[in-house]
Structure 1
């Protein structure tokens, strides 16, 4: 039973965190995504340097919650009831969101994230009760507004291990298509960049025995980051706005693809398994 009146008391709660977007972090971000970034240009050792433009969505790796290890729940997430409401459903996922890019984070600047709980809603889904928590983030870099973000978090119950599922429509291929291997080192590196202890991304025995998934789950924020990088590569500039929604999980048991196709003045983008499977994340980018 979910006491929605209790959970909605978290609406309006705020949290402020700051961290310097240091050159070492930018180097690790670029190494994780195999990027040759402008932040390296002109640096004598080939690394990032202060004052250079940092890569898009680097803010997702800055000032994460730093709960003590003893304060983590059994799934590796911080125990609930702090900034986020204590939703009594076991599974938490990044369901979607949006980014409005106003300016660039620059290497060496202090990045501040101001977070506010906008809404808490309970809905009945096909798989049972769902609880959606909407969080607004304002990202400043040395006092300049650089990103306005909406984050949609969904909590749900456990699926039965062998629950029957319908056959989803296979995803199309985009006119731009990049193949990605979701290797354990890639997933581990992104978890480390974001200080994300959620065991679904690195602990295969836990994942199969407790959460009954077939493999490690590819991070939603990492998929969104890769799609923004693809959009930026196609158009030669980062988008002004990026909206996305997660539809189905990607596991590390097969390669997946980043796809894009022209859509008027913008791009439609999506991820999907390389060989069949439905759309995993869908997005739009506009300039």
Structure 2
């Protein structure tokens, strides 16, 4: 079993500064599929129209061959990201600053840089956090600056929440979220995500020890940003989010929001359960 003592942090930190670029056109068809997944009306998909926020997570994705995937459906370690010798990998959170919108049919370019690698201790053992900065360009315009936090942990059956954590509060604004298997599968397809925890029920319950399919962190973040947009009337200029505990397709999930001096505080939670993801939106 890999622990902090066997993680060569000096070697892993050699990846800091590593850079990667990728590009893809934000086609009208992709916009239509994104909107259909979230049950939106087709809307304006004319050339140059503003694409939905968070569409960039569906663009310029690594096209790893199927034979290069690990047993969990994730790409094998190495390449752009450091080869952390811990098999479980998930998004821990991130922050986004929007300076514009992706335009339909624009060439979208993602410039990514590994900015930090740290090892910490958690309830489940050693954790390795990798921070990646992204610049998202639509044509010649920088439209999104993002920091993504990725966490690696050891294999093994995982507790779904820590004992003694209080249930999440009720927000002034509330909305249910669709955590059905078709929704999770369609979002995995949109983001070219082969991670089996989101669609393979026997694997996620028998191998990883979860009670059901895991709801994607980026999907929850997208729901919360869309919720903030609906409440405020316009999309936020800044959005941060942090995962706290996993949620599954075996119980309803609610989106919550409260006004703050800066904008909105938002979170997801199952009824009677702890906060799964928290977020802050500011205008």
TM-score with structure 2 length normalisation?
0.95
Q: Secondary structure at the match of 1:154?
A: strand
1:77-226 to structure 2, matched below 5 A, reads: 77-160=74-157, 165-226=162-223
Structure 2 counterpart of 1:44: none
Which of 33, 37, 49 aligns to 2:38? It is 33
Q: Distance between the aligned counterparts of 1:104 and 1:164, measured in 2?
A: 37
Residues 133-152 of structure 1: per-residue CA shift (max 9 Å, x gap): 00000000001000000000
Which of 274, 278, 285 aligns to 2:274? It is 278
Structure 2 counterpart of 1:11: 16
Q: 1:265 to 1:161 in 2, by over 3 A?
A: closer
Q: Distance between the aligned counterparts of 2:160 and 2:52, measured in 1?
A: 41
Can you give the 5+ residue segments of structure 1 that lack an aligned partner in the other structure? 42-47
Which of 236, 258, 282 aligns to 1:261? It is 258
Q: Secondary structure at the match of 2:207?
A: helix
Structure 2 counterpart of 1:45: none
CA RMSD of aligned residues (A): 1.4
Q: 1:161 to 1:198 in 2, by over 3 A?
A: closer
Q: 1:254 to 1:166 in 2, by over 3 A?
A: same
Question: CA offset at residue 181 of structure 1?
Answer: 2.9
Residues 23-53 of structure 1: per-residue CA shift (max 9 Å, x gap): 000000001011236xx24xxxxxx221111
Q: How many residues align?
A: 278
Question: CA offset at residue 154 of structure 1?
Answer: 0.4
Structure 1 counterpart of 2:241: 244
Q: 1:165 to 1:159 in 2, by over 3 A?
A: farther
Q: Secondary structure at the match of 1:187?
A: helix
Contact 1:134 1:152 in 2 (8 A): yes
TM-score with structure 1 length normalisation?
0.94
1:16-95 to structure 2, matched below 5 A, reads: 16-36=21-41, 40-41=43-44, 48-95=45-92
Residues 199-248 of structure 1: per-residue CA shift (max 9 Å, x gap): 01001111111111111000000100110101111111110100110000
